[in-house]
């Protein structure tokens, strides 16, 4: 069994570098095995892909994932060199990552339970409840915020097909990506946050000063919090603060032309767009959504 101290350091590295997904897990497993067989230190400045025999792994990845993998690869080589572990410990480190890989592949996607008797708000809220449960079980990973951000992104693509909607991985900070919000649509800047805080209000203040219109999308409880924070900042009449579930449901009605028969096809389009965004911008494919249809109960027996 791996030393708890080493396991903790590996967990910290995994969370800090967002090591999640089959491609990046394959990279760290390969490097762990290479270090076990060849010893430390490894050369973090050499052409690592060729030096560690990992060029083929990277060649099979998409451009976004390849760039992420190279960054993780260099950081992980530095991490292992600083750890300076013995081959026996490196073998246990490899096994630790392989267990993370098994956990990844066993992770289930979110399930959108389509029940024709349920409201669209209830269907969307159920997704957020699934994300909330995951968040409670995964020590702080922002599952609800991630899910909500990409659901809104998918909705914007469907509602505004002629506009290019810029998507970013949830972990990409606004300051790092040089963006002022989660989505910039013409003169409006959308901020998506489950638990509003003073930082998002400061961003809205910057939006206003730049001549843009700030919009906060949050959950029902967050609406009250955001309004209170905005009022404290003297911006209560300058920021549109909207319940994100209502925002999504209202737009789904519009896209379905208010026809009940179009609810399912419209949700299918939303899921298709959402899953494509996840595949392109995130490494954790357990963020994907699968549609589960539930038939209405038509049993009329006494």
Would you list the domain boundaries of the chain?
4-106, 110-293
**Predicted pLDDT of residue 212:** 96
**Predicted pLDDT of residue 274:** 97
Considering only the C-alpha atoms of the chain, give the largest distance between any 2 of them, rounded to a whole number of Å: 76
**Predicted pLDDT of residue 299:** 46
Packing angle between helix 263-281 and helix 120-137, nearest 10 degrees? Answer: 30
Burial of 89 (0-12, 13-18, 19+ CB in 10 A): middle
**Predicted pLDDT of residue 65:** 60
pTM score of the predicted model: 0.67
Count CB neighbours of 18 within 10 A. 18
**Predicted pLDDT of residue 286:** 81
Place of tokens 């579930």: 245
Rounded to whole angstroms, what are the CA distances from 99 to 13, 102, 143, 165?
15, 5, 21, 37
Say how far apart CA 55 and CA 130 lie, in whole Å: 38
**Predicted pLDDT of residue 295:** 63
Count CB neighbours of 129 within 10 A. 11
**Predicted pLDDT of residue 114:** 95
Burial of 282 (0-12, 13-18, 19+ CB in 10 A): buried
Say how far apart CA 101 and CA 167 lie, in whole Å: 26
**Predicted pLDDT of residue 58:** 64
Count CB neighbours of 28 within 10 A. 29
Count CB neighbours of 203 within 10 A. 18
Say how far apart CA 302 and CA 291 lie, in whole Å: 32
**Per residue in 180-215, pLDDT tens?**
789 999 999 999 999 999 999 999 999 999 999 999
**Predicted pLDDT of residue 158:** 96
Residues of the chain with pLDDT under 70: 44-65, 105-106, 137-141, 171-179, 283, 295-302
Write out the two tokens for 221. 């409880």
């Amino acid at each position: 069994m791996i030393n708890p101290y080493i396991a903790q350091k590996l967990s910290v590295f995994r969370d800090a570098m967002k090591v999640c997904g089959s491609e990046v897990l394959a990279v760290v497993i390969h490097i762990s095995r290479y270090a076990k067989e060849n010893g430390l230190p490894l050369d973090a400045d050499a052409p690592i892909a060729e030096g560690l025999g990992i060029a083929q792994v990277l060649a099979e990845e998409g451009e976004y994932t390849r760039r992420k993998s190279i960054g993780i690869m260099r950081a992980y080589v530095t991490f292992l060199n600083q750890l300076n572990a013995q081959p026996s410990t490196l073998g246990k480190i490899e096994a630790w990552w392989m267990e993370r890989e098994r956990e990844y592949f066993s992770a289930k996607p979110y399930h959108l339970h389509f029940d024709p008797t349920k409201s669209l708000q209830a269907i969307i809220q159920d997704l957020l409840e699934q994300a909330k449960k995951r968040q409670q079980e995964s020590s702080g990973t922002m599952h609800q915020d991630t899910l909500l951000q990409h659901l809104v992104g998918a909705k914007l693509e469907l509602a505004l097909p002629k506009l290019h909607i810029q998507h970013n991985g949830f972990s990409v900070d606004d300051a790092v990506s040089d963006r002022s919000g989660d989505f910039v649509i013409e003169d409006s800047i959308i901020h998506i946050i489950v638990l509003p805080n003073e930082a998002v209000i400061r961003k809205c203040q910057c939006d206003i000063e730049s001549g843009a219109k700030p919009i906060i999308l949050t959950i029902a409880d967050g609406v009250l919090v955001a309004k209170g924070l905005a009022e404290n900042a003297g911006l209560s009449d300058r920021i549109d603060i909207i319940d994100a579930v209502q925002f999504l449901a209202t737009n789904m009605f519009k896209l379905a032309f208010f026809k009940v028969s179009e609810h399912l096809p419209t949700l299918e389009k939303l899921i298709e767009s959402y899953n494509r965004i996840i595949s392109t911008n995130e490494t954790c494919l357990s963020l994907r959504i699968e549609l589960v249809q539930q038939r209405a109960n038509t049993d009329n027996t006494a």
